Amino acid sequence: MKLSRLIGSSTACLVSLDPHKTELRAANIGDSGFLLLRRQAGSSSMVEPALGTLDSAAGIGAAGRKLHIAFRSPQQLRAFNTPYQLGRAPDSGDAPDDRFETPQDASLVRVPVRPGDILVLATDGLFDNVDEEALLDTIEDLIEGSGTGASPQQLADAIAARAKELSLDKSVDSPFAILAKDNDILWGGGRPDDITVLVSHILDRADARAPPTDWAAVSGPGEPPPELLEAEALLAAERLAAEARTASGLGAERGEEEEVERLEEEARVGASR
């Protein structure tokens, strides 16, 4: 592993959607992380809990709730308020520094997803100040108030604004304050900190925009899904048909030009006689 010469430290959370499976793959170091929010199933159409998520323990069917937390990434802490971090100090030298973690220390998770899920990635500025109930309230209020559904940008803005508001409130019993008390540290109110929020919607293939006609599939590990292969075959057939039509048109044009040249030549010969 090549070590960077940059001085500093940071937590990290990387999340990707597997192109061939309905699952998220994530690597997380420290106290940044992500939440997967899922719509409540109606009592008459209850779905089976998704394996690998917290569906079975998330209070599905809670009165008045439109969403629940299907999964929450685990935090990595050395001690209270001391998260795992990637980093390098001025005196680190070239050898690995025991004061910091390495990418190999990341928590790796694979989480099944469903169409309609909402993915929220954030730094600890969110998780230290907004508990799960307040987060669900913020998102549900915005979704209901918008009428047509809130965009990921609108949700991210609202969540970040709520986190900032609570971080400056000295009267709330924030998640950070509760954890501090659990560690015999007196702390009241929120905790001002860096706040970064990213929101994504998980869409069904049928709901997503059709790919452009010149798209190319990128295959990862494993076999591509059949529908991907079928789409590639259809595109290839359309290209061949278009080339055939073009070639046919050019052939017709060449034939017409040759006929005109023949008639002109006959006319010249007749005139010379």
Write down the pLDDT at residue 207: 54
Find the Cα–Cα–Cα–Cα dihedral 230, 235, 236, 239, rounded to 10°: 160
Find the Cα–Cα–Cα–Cα dihedral 38, 39, 40, 41, rounded to 10°: -100
Cα-trace Rg, the chain: 30
Write down the pLDDT at residue 229: 63
Task: Please report where in the chains the tokens 């030009």 appear, as a residue.
Answer: 257
Query: What does pLDDT average to in each consecutive run of 10 residues of the chain (273 residues)?
Result: 72 89 91 93 46 45 78 92 88 80 91 93 96 95 79 95 96 93 91 94 68 41 55 70 68 64 64 55
Task: Please report where in the chains the tokens 């259809």 appear, as a residue.
Answer: 234
Write down the pLDDT at residue 144: 85
Domains of the chain: residue spans and CATH: 8-201 (3.60.40), 209-273 (no CATH)
The answer to whether 117 and 38 are in contact (CB under 8 A) is yes
| Measured CA angle at 134 (ends 129, 140), to 5 deg | 140
